[in-house]
A and B are shown apart, each in its own frame.
Chain A
Amino acid sequence: MIAKETAARVLAAALRTGADLAELYVEDDTTLRLRLEDSKLEEAIRGVDTGAGVRCFFGDLVTYAYTDDLSEESLLRAAEAASAAGQGASSAPKVIDLTERKSPLHYPIEKTFDALTIAQKADILSRVDTTARAYDARVRQVNSGYIEERRKVWIFNSEGIACEDDRAFVEFRVGVMAQQGEIIQTASEAFGGQLGLELFDRNDPIAAANQAAEVAVRMLDARPAPAGEMTVVVCNGWGGVLFHEACGHQMEADFITKGTSAYAGKVGQRVANDLITAIDDGTIPGRRGSLRFDDEGVPAARNVLIERGILVDYMWDLVEARRVKREASTGNGRRQSFRHMPMPRMTNTYIAAGPHDPEEIIRSTKKGLYIKSMAGGQADIARGDYVFNATEAYLIEDGKLTAPVRGATVAGNGPKTLEQIDMVGTDWALDAGYGTCGKGQTARVSVGQPTLRIPLATVGGTG
């Protein structure tokens, strides 16, 4: 899309006022979104976004300018705007070596997006709608959605990075609303990842529709969640939202270099009990958070964050690595689109498997709350506090799952929770691939964990 010679000229222009590093990021993105509600295909949207951003580094000052016009003239104008803050003489070398780098990572697509027509994709949504409505007369509303996105990126920088990436994402969702008298409950199921339409060979949308309908109907009998401190058992897979919110964000380097994270200055120290090993791995094939290169042209990596309770490293991008004169980024520099500057972000983040039988974890809990599904969570970086809201939860009474409960918020302190977790299951799993993290910008991520137990967290219900 952009010739190397053009990129070299744009980088030279960006270096004209003395920047110590210049970067050109180019993006070509095509998206298809289908959404069905009220048994009608209501949204059929196709769109194209193309653009480029030029970034200049002057010590700790980072400047950025982007444009949605990829002509060389427009790119040079962006380079001029980004470099306007500099006051020095040109720092461009005579030749910028842009030898293309290949990533060792391969995420093969088995079935390209054109393996099904748009009408066939819409038909999947229709069948999902029919299935969920047929499940129970109390099912009152169904929405289902399909998203495919193909994003090609090209990244060049004045230190010789030249690479391209071709990312394909596909995602399916179904949401079901059930009603009985004045009580309304909803449930949803979703799956996706960085792959092609083989997604539907590996996951069954009809089964997802039945599952969502079953949960929505079952939750009609839910009683209000209790309030106060209690033991909380969190499910495997999507339960990994817990670590993402409780600790993951606090291990992103921008909060570390500024000293606003509880984990700043703690490398090599014990920050969790030795049941806890936590990893951010951007290299898992097919996963939603996986990358060949991050959005700064650094190959994705498997980075151990916590090893048996000891803090190993944080997640870095170029800006934060340069700020502390660290040699390399960890491949965690990500951006929502060419309209955004990269920042340190998680990829696929999880707590590794532990020694406990997941059934034993519930059996050994006298009284508590089991979280089967949650809506996502939020973190307070400075305090290390986290919260997540359960969408499907059950009381644990005498080692057994009993009544479903609604409206449960679970709140706690991340660093404390990591020290307190007393049981970690053998049933490690990643989520089904529908997570999106918001940190001013959105990023596709995955989370994971085995079933685990927090001896004491604050539960907020009205019961």
Chain B
Amino acid sequence: MDYLQLANDVVKNLAAHGVAAEVMITDSRETDIRVDRGQVEQLAQNTNKGMGVRVIDGGRVGYAYTSDFSPRAVEETARAALELAQIATPDEHRALPDVMAAPDEDLGIYDPELEGIPTDQKVELAKKAEALALEAEPRMIQAQSNYGDFIAHVYMANSNGLSASYSRTAAYNYIMGVAKDDSDMAMGFGLSASNTFREVDPAQVAREAVRRATLTLGAKPVPTQTASVVFDPFIMAELLYYLSLALTGEAMQRGKSFLIGRMGKEVGSDKVTLLDNGRMKGGFASAPFDAEGVPTSATRLIDEGVLQAVIYDSYSARRDGARPTGNAQRESHRSLPKAGISNFYIQPGHDSPEDIIASVQNGLYVTRIMQTGGVNPINGDCSMAASGVWIENGQLTHPVNGVTIATTLPDLLNNVTAVGSDLRFIPLFGSIGSPTVRVDNMTIGGTA
């Protein structure tokens, strides 16, 4: 079936009712492999498709989706979107974006080789990562290795004349390893992900999982105190995700951001420059256009500590009289588009991670955190459980666990005193890049 044609047909039928209409179709093939103790434990190969239909009738939005593309199901989906638009509240800013042609450039998001890679080769890659992790360290008792990939096609059409498509691929390998000694058991995560199969590196996955799992074995709490914290890139990337939620036009318009009213003002130390770039070559979140068909772009959100811009979908941009930044995202064909980050990152500095650790008198090097709702982009609270290694006089000393670390998001930004050169993109919360980052003056909750 020609899905772009199908999308256009549905748009045309809806437009005949005098409404604005948009159809997105996604179609993907996925592989998932799990290896444990040298054996394949799970092997899944799937095909997946879905259609999302958005109708805007006088500023009222209706949305419906289906995974069934039979003429009857598509017809019912289109009708449901039309009907639901009658229920919604009109909002003059709700409209389809103007059609703008996306620049013709190779974003490096499609690997034509992936389709031809046999399953056996993927299984071997997963097995290799596990074997390397288990061989590297006798204390590693588990290194369950997962491999996954997908080939996805996105088709979009709307009644403003948009008709476009693109394809993307991704492949990844990760290990959640477990290390054990006489007194303790600890988990460690390793990951390698790329748009290109050949760039997935099982040796790196094994190395990272082993390092993180063994680094904190035998950990103990430290006393409650105020100290510096050095964040591993994976951990800082997670914190940046919550920060990004405060940096959308919508969050500002609705007062749901601790940065409200701070545009043009200093909100962080001059080490902090935050960028979003939907056209980064080879980026996990790169695409020629966003989830509304608007060409993606690069935005400098915070420049040397000064809040300069926010990211927009077409709705929030129209409300501010601004240009959309090409940041409409949707989780899947089941969701309405909404502003969110693409490739979002903190601009790296010049210090190596070793130099940053060496610069700390007294502090905690954090390699794992746990929190649910502890980092709050609305009220700025920032509190979590942490484990890592204690730093004394610039040296890593003993492993630490069972402590909490806390600050507020405004203080976190203001107290960034070093940003490393080791920028790393982590595709766990969208695509977020961070190097090692030092934050001073955090409250560590531990023993009395």
Q: How far is the CA of A69 from the CA of B50 in the complex (A)?
A: 11
User: Counting CB contacts under 8 A, is B132 at the interface?
Assistant: no
B63 and A387 form a contact (CB under 8 A): no
Whether the pair B406, A458 counts as a contact (CB closer than 8 A) is no
Collect the chain B residues with CB atoms within 8 Å of residue A66's CB.
44, 46-47
Please report which residues of chain A, range 224-238, place their CB below 8 angstroms from some CB of chain B when the two chains form the complex: 225, 227-229
Question: What B residues does A81 contact at CB under 8 A?
Answer: 45
Contact check, B224 vs A41: say whether CB atoms are below 8 A apart.
Answer: no
**What distance in Å separates the Cβ of B374 from its nearest Cβ neighbour in chain A?**
4
Instruction: List chain A residues, Cβ under 8 A from B447.
Output: 228-229
- Bound Cα distance A108, B244 (Å): 44
Once A45-B84, A184-B378 are accepted as A-B contacts, the answer to whether A179 and B443 lie under 8 Å apart by CB is no
Does A407 lie within 8 Å of B382, measured CB to CB? Answer: yes
B residues 140-185 touching A (CB-CB < 8 Å): 141-142, 144, 178, 180, 184-185
Known A68-B67, A260-B178; judge A385-B378 contact (CB<8 A): no
Q: A225 CA to B40 CA in the complex, in Å?
A: 47
Say yes or no for A154: interface residue by CB 8 A criterion. Answer: no
Contacts A60-B39, A458-B221: A383 and B185 contacting too (C-beta < 8 A)? Answer: yes
Q: Say yes or no for B381: interface residue by CB 8 A criterion.
A: yes
**Residues 372-394 of B at the A interface (beta carbon under 8 Å):** 372-374, 376, 378-385
B41 with A260: CB separation less than 8 A: no
Residues of B close to A194: CB separation below 8 A: none
B117 at interface (Cβ–Cβ under 8 A)?
Answer: no
B254 & A458 in contact (Cβ 8 Å cutoff): no
B234 within 8 A of A: no
| CB-defined contacts of A461 to chain B, threshold 8 Å | 383, 404, 406, 443, 445
B228 within 8 A of A: no
Indicate if B21 sits at the interface (CB-CB under 8 A). Answer: no
0 or 1 for each of A112-150: is its CB under 8 Å from B? (1 = yes): 000000110010000000000000000011000000000
In the complex, the answer to whether B65 meets A45 with C-beta atoms within 8 Å is yes
Q: How far is the CA of A118 from the CA of B64 in the complex (A)?
A: 14
Pick out which of these stretches binds chain B: A200-208, A373-381, A446-454: A373-381
18 A/B residue pairs, CB under 8 Å, sorted by A: A36-B89, A40-B88, A43-B88, A46-B80, A47-B66, A47-B334, A60-B41, A66-B44, A67-B47, A140-B255, A227-B224, A227-B404, A260-B141, A341-B44, A385-B385, A385-B402, A389-B383, A460-B403
Interface residues of B in 62-107 (CB under 8 A from A): 62-68, 73, 76-77, 80-81, 83-85, 87-89, 91
Task: Write the chain A residue with the least CB distance to B62.
Answer: A44
* A41 & B87 in contact (Cβ 8 Å cutoff): yes
Q: Contacting B73 at CB < 8 Å: which of A48, A378, A412?
A: A48
Question: Besides A47-B64, A381-B187, A407-B406, 9 other CB < 8 A contacts?
Answer: A42-B89, A177-B255, A177-B256, A228-B224, A228-B447, A380-B187, A383-B187, A409-B406, A458-B404
Q: How large is the interface on A (under 10, 10 to 19, 20 to 34, 35 or more residues)?
A: 35 or more
Tell me if A316 counts as interface (CB < 8 A to partner B): no
Residues A258 and B36 in contact in the complex (CB < 8 Å), given A341-B44, A387-B384: yes
- By a beta-carbon cutoff of 8 Å, the part of chain A in contact with chain B is 31, 34, 36-51, 60-69, 81, 85, 118-119, 122, 140-141, 177, 179, 183-186, 225, 227-229, 258-260, 262, 339, 341, 374-383, 385-389, 391, 406-409, 411-413, 458-462
| A376 to B39 CA separation, bound complex (whole angstroms) | 35
- CB of B401 within 8 Å of the partner chain: yes
Give CA–CA (A407, B258) in the complex, Å: 14
In angstroms, how far is the closest chain A Cβ from the Cβ of B301?
Answer: 20
Closest B residue to A406 by beta carbon equals: B381
Question: Measured between alpha carbons, how far is A62 from B42 in the docked complex, in Å?
Answer: 5
- Least CB distance, B142 to chain A, in whole angstroms: 6
Residue of A nearest to B403 (CB): A458
Query: Are B42 and A65 in touch, CB under 8 angstroms?
Result: no
Within 8 A of A (CB), among B236-282: 254-256, 258
Which has the most chain B C-beta neighbours within 10 Å: A62, A63, A383, A412? A383
Asked if B448 is at the interface (CB within 8 A of a chain A CB), the reply is yes
Q: Answer whether residue B371 sits at the interface, using C-beta atoms and an 8 A cutoff.
A: yes
B61/A61 in contact, CB under 8 A: no
Residues of B within 8 A of A460 (CB): 374, 383-385, 403-406, 443, 445
List of 7 A-B pairs having minimum Cβ-Cβ separation, nearest first: A460-B404, A375-B373, A227-B445, A407-B381, A40-B89, A411-B385, A47-B65
A411 to B445, CA, bound (A): 10
Contacting A at CB under 8 A, from B335-392, are: 335-336, 368, 370-374, 376, 378-385
Contact A376 B406 (CB under 8 A): no
Could you say which residues of chain B place their CB within 8 Å of the CB of A118? Answer: 83-84, 87
Tell me whether A119 and B47 are in contact (CB under 8 A): no
| Interface SS majority for chain A | strand
In the bound complex, how far is the Cα of B448 from the Cα of A192, in angstroms? 41
Nearest CB to that of A378 among chain B residues? B370
B61 touches A48 (CB 8 A): no
B285 within 8 A of A: no
Consensus secondary structure, chain B interface = strand
Please tell me if B408 contacts chain A, counting CB pairs below 8 Å.
yes
Contact B402 A411 (CB under 8 A): yes
Closest Cβ of chain B to A421, distance in Å, is 18
Residue in A68, A69, A407 whose CB lies within 8 Å of B383: A407
Are A378 and B84 touching (Cβ within 8 A)?
Answer: no
Give B16-53 interface residues, CB cut-off 8 Å to A: 36, 39-50
Contact of A184 with B258 at beta-carbon distance under 8 Å, contacts A40-B91, A382-B185, A407-B382 already known: yes
Q: Which residues of B contact A381 (CB under 8 A)?
A: 187
Q: Complex formed: what's the CA distance from A408 to B382 in Å?
A: 9
B287 within 8 A of A: no
> A44, A68, A184, A185: which contacts B84 (Cβ < 8 A)?
A44
Instruction: Flag if B407 contacts A68 (CB, 8 Å).
Output: no
Within 8 A of A (CB), among B397-424: 401-408
B108 within 8 A of partner (CB): no
Cross-chain contact B65 with A48 (CB below 8 angstroms):
yes
Q: Is the CB of B41 within 8 A of A228?
A: no
Residues of chain A within 8 A of B178, CB atoms compared: 260, 382
Within 8 Å by CB of B67, from A51, A183, A186, lies A51
Chain B residues with CB below 8 A from A388, complex form: 372
Contact (A45, B336) CB under 8 Å given A229-B448, A375-B373, A409-B371 = yes
Contacts of B336 in A (CB 8 A): 43, 45
Cross-chain contact of B401 among A177, A258, A385 (Cβ < 8 A): A385
The residue in B42, B48, B49 that gathers the most chain A C-beta atoms within 10 A of its C-beta is B42
Residues of chain A within 8 A of B180, CB atoms compared: 382
Q: Which residues of A contact B403 (CB under 8 A)?
A: 411, 458, 460
Q: Which chain B positions have C-beta within 8 A of A186? A: 376, 378-379
A39 to B88, CA, bound (A): 11
B65 to chain A, nearest CB (A): 4
Whether, in the assembled complex, B200 has its beta carbon less than 8 Å from a beta carbon of chain A, the answer is no
**What chain B residues lie within 8 Å of A459 (beta carbons)?**
404, 445
B39 lies within 8 A of A61 (CB): yes
For the complex, what is the distance from the CA of A348 to the CA of B81, rounded to whole Å?
35
Say whether B309 faces chain A, with CB atoms less than 8 Å apart: no
Q: Which residues of A sit under 8 angstroms from B81, Cβ to Cβ?
A: 46
Nearest CB of chain A from residue B207's CB, rounded to whole Å = 19
- B residues within 8 A CB of A389? 371-374, 383
Contacts of B44 in A (CB 8 A): 63-66, 341
A383 to B404, Cβ gap below 8 A?
no
- How far is A409 from B76 in the complex, measured between Cα atoms in Å? 47
The answer to whether B45 touches A65 (Cβ under 8 A) is yes
Cβ of B230 < 8 Å from any Cβ of A? Answer: no
